[in-house]
Structure 1
Amino acid sequence: MIDYSEIPVNPDLHTVAFYNAENLFDIFDDAKKHDSDFLPRADKRWTFKRYQNKLRKLGYAISNIGRKENGKHPAIIGLAEVENAKVLKDLIASKHVKNCNYNYVHYDSKDERGIDVALLYDKTIFTLEASEKFSLELYNDAGLPDYTRDILLVSGVLDGYKIHVIVNHWSSRREGERETEHKRMAGSNKVGEIISNLKLNDPDAKIIVVGDFNDDPSSKSIARLLSGFHLLNPMQALRSYTRGTSKYKRQWFLFDQILVTRNFYEKTENGLQFEKANIFDEDFLRVSDGKYKGSPFRTYVGKRYQGGYSDHFPVYAVLKTQKK
């Protein structure tokens, strides 16, 4: 483990992060959710000990995102693949984040896998004002509802400045990239609607869009948000053949991204400004050897327990408060 303790705290820098937690399920059966794989007697043997190990590892990773830049834990973290409020309560009570003053925002969705998005925030830095969930109307080939994750909007005040954070986990490419593209476009359209409504009330609204989009920065769904709603994508320059946030068949993808409105780039004497964005891909989050060396150290590979963190690396943006 890395020792970040000697990095001085910078009170003017704040980290906003996103992390796909890879199936953060509790160990109890919920008849309303498809959680049968994550039970103690299931093939995966999802035991209390393994659950506790997962919470501890996620907590350690979360507590150190952005710490190199500002010497402290993130102020805000969007999460994907969480089962319910219980796992969030257990997470913020776990060893490495129990002193981070975190609270959470979460709504149950109708997602077919039983996983939701959520948001953690440090109550001493971010004051929650409002939150709302937005569902997507998707249908399968038979014309029946195809339930997926909701989109979460959280509004509040970060160190004296009003911001809005939109948390996403768009539909996967499991059935093929082109075959499922319309689902991610639906997510993009919904985010566009949310942004438009926010700007109707406040043309200068500062908006951060985070998520696992299951699309890369060059994909249509992301490009539409950039061109149609004046967002900037500081993650664009980070993807390469040797770097990303998830890896499949030896290829890196940058599905996890953070987008911001252009006003985060305005230089003012009094405001909240974008400083930098990055992938949090420290060595402890990686497989250390073997054919998957360098890939995210995940909890499971298929049904085989690995005991790692997640199959995604977190991403983060550092914001700076400019005060007279």
Structure 2
Amino acid sequence: MKKIIILLFIICSFLFSKEFKIASYNVENFFDLNYDVTEYKEFIPNRSHWNKKAYKTKLNNVLKVLNDLNADIIALQEIESKKVINDLIKKLPEYKYYKFIKYDNSSVGVAILSKIKIINNKQIDVKFQDKIFRPILETTFILDDIKFKIFNNHWPSKRSKEKYRVKYAYELLNRIKQLPSTMDYIILGDLNSNYNENETLYSNKKLNDTLYITGINNVLNTTIDNNFVSKGTIKNKQYSHYNLWLELPYKNRYSYIFKSNNSTPDNMILPASLFDDENIFYKYNSFNVFKPDYLIKNRKINRWNMRKQDGFSDHLPIYATFSTKKLINQEIKRLSTIQDIYDITQINEPFSLKDAVVIYKSNNSAIVKQKNSRAIFIYNAQDLKLNNSYDLKIFSIKDFYGLKEIDKFKIIKKNKKPKNMDNFYIDKFNDFSDLNLQNEVIKNLVFTYKDKFLYYENSKIRVYFKDKNLIPKVETKLLIKKAQIGYFKKSPQIVIYNKNDFKYLK
């Protein structure tokens, strides 16, 4: 009888919990038709292409997105005025609660629309002597007698160096430190920072005026010791945060596309309290990008086109689901295979990888593969021997511009060598753009080299020589004895480490 009562209590608690969706959307330059002097010049009312017709189209297009998105709380960026918000609310009566803020001399501000009761709004000022940006909007909500906060951000764009975004992060963190330890909160908005902004600074040194310190990674602590904070490690350091982009496969991580490169300026970042046993809970794997066909086609975002007076925004909305009760069956997956590693971004605790066979070795780097599973690159692998099998303890993994790697491990034991190594290699031509072939090793394949590409069977793939002195000077045929199928940013590539990995053919 006691067990039945407990079971009924659990079921009732689950039934009476409330799930709610939170979204963030940079609507891109939504100006009204009143002249305020602070407009961007192309949005001065009734000049050029910004007029009543354009405004009405923009309004209806934003309304379509918000209606289809159907979030309970929507954070908006790049709104010019209360007039714009009022026009939205007239068509969205279900959003009874809303707030808009901006600086007087700023072109745009931020806003919140909510079906859930707002009990307080606070403006966090972030000001500079030489530039004017936007304040941070701190909004407190109440649902089922539970209070929680959302911090709606719009940090400076990449036209400004990193020190400006770092200051935003510090002002935000200082405010968070003033909150009661039991207060749940969500950081979201257009941070103009990729989830892996540390890598961005290394590839775009013009932004780096902070000695590679970034606001999103180092100040808000979405990384610790250069590793992303995970759901399992978030409690290891105070004021650390988990970035929900890590739930998506690498190829799906984008809300903005710049020069054909995926970017994640829009973020949703959670503290440890969203993963505890009290108040508000995050629903695992509910984070996603809202991208219906009318917002993106052929990898092009259908942004506002001033000349055509149509379109939406250069950003895509992001969203996630939360609950007032802890959700059942939200266990973190236990890992045992290399395939499992490709399904995640960070491991929550060390795990054992059995029968990992070394199929390639170059100096201190190695590639290991499990039978009937996948291959993966390993750093600091000087103790691993080619063609040997090992049981390994894996401590951390990383993504290097999309390439999955193991960067910390130890050998548990050495196993018997496999009798046949041939099955561990790719010795026939494939579609090498297939992400499932990442880190595999090709063997004894003939290509034609020309201008940084290897050509084969009416296809081609970029080739990267670790030693630039090995790059062929002219078009030639090559026998690739062994080489890694690598991946850099969005592109697969064959990686050749040393001169013994290939030979010229006549």
Please report the TM-score for the alignment, with normalisation by the length of structure 1. 0.79
In structure 1, the partner of 2:250 is 240
Unaligned runs of 5+ in 1: 1-9, 66-72, 140-144
- Secondary structure of the corresponding residue to residue 284 of structure 1: coil
Deviation sequence 1:245-270 (CA, Å, 0-9, x none): 011111110110111121212246xx
Pairwise CA distance, 1:158: 2.9
Count of equivalent residues: 278
Match of 1:181 among 142, 155, 162: 162
Q: How does 1:259-298 map to 2 (within 5 A)?
A: 259-267=269-277, 271-275=279-283, 276-286=286-296, 288=297, 293-298=298-303
Question: Secondary structure of 1:263's match?
Answer: helix
Query: For 1:51, which of 52, 55, 68 is the aligned residue?
Result: 55
User: Is 1:63 aligned to 2:53, yes or no?
Assistant: no
Decide which moves more: 205-214 or 50-59.
50-59
What's the secondary structure of 2:65's corresponding residue?
helix
Q: Answer yes or no: is 1:320 the counterpart of 2:320.
A: no
Larger deviation: 247-256 or 102-111?
102-111
The offset of 1:215, in angstroms, is: 0.6
- Give the structure-2-normalised TM-score: 0.52
Aligned to 2:27: 21
Q: For residues 160 and 53 of structure 1, do their structure 2 counterparts lie closer, same or farther at Cα, with a shift above 3 Å needed?
A: farther
CA positional deviation for 1:40:
4.4
In 2, are the aligned partners of 1:241 and 1:251 still within 8 Å (CA)? no
Residue 222 of structure 1: how far off its partner (Å):
1.2
1:196 to 177, 183, 186: 177
User: What's the offset of the Cα at 1:272?
Assistant: 2.2
Corresponding residue for 1:6? none
Of the two, which has the highest radius of gyration? 2
Q: How does 1:1-324 map to 2 (within 5 A)?
A: 12-31=18-37, 33-43=38-48, 45-65=49-69, 73-94=70-91, 98-110=92-104, 112=106, 114-122=107-115, 126-139=116-129, 145-174=130-159, 180-198=161-179, 202-219=180-197, 220-223=214-217, 224-226=219-221, 229-238=239-248, 240-241=250-251, 243-267=253-277, 271-275=279-283, 276-286=286-296, 288=297, 293-300=298-305, 303-305=306-308, 307-322=310-325
Q: Any conservation in 1 of the 2:23–2:319 contact (CA below 8 Å)? A: yes
Distance in 2 between residues matched to 1:154 and 1:118, nearest whole Å: 10
Secondary structure of the equivalent of 1:226? coil
How far off is 1:173 after superposition? Answer: 0.6
| Secondary structure, aligned partner of 1:37 | helix
| Residue identity matched to 2:42 | D
CA contact (8 A) 1:39 1:46 kept: yes
Higher relative contact order (CA 8 A, sep 6+): 1
The Cα shift of 1:307 comes to: 0.9
| In structure 2, C-alpha distance between the alignment counterparts of 1:323 and 1:230, rounded to whole Å | 21
Residue 99 of structure 1, CA deviation: 3.8
CA distance in 1, matches of 2:47, 2:249: 37
Report if aligned partners of 1:239, 1:253 keep a CA contact under 8 Å in 2.
no
- Of Structure 1 and Structure 2, the greater strand share is in 2
Report the alpha carbon displacement of residue 137 of structure 1 after superposing the two structures with TM.
Answer: 2.5
Distance 1:162 1:133 in 2: 18
Report SS of the residue matched to 1:64. helix
